[in-house]
Amino acid sequence: MMYPYMTLADETEITHSHIIDENGMQCVEVHFERPREGGFDAARCSLPAYTWIKRSGFSDKEIENFDKFLHSNAHLLYKYAAAGGIQIA
């Protein structure tokens, strides 16, 4: 299951997974998706290795910016992944 995290000004939706146990390591997958004519641009990164496991339609500069974003937000993404998403009352 993917949980909503935020929407950027260009309509890129950022979602994250729950905590995924991979050989004793706690991982979170973060998905970026932006609508475009005829479909979507999409990218997915696995934390904590910051490995891009999917990438379609986003430029190298955009991926670089997403990487910086992930480094700044990883602690929150892990927190919300462990809690089952952001709890908004």
| Global confidence as pTM | 0.92
Cα–Cα separations (whole angstroms), residue 17 to 38, 39, 78, 81: 26, 22, 9, 6
Model confidence pLDDT, tens digit, residues 12-42: 999 999 999 999 999 999 999 999 999 999 9
pLDDT of residue 1: 86
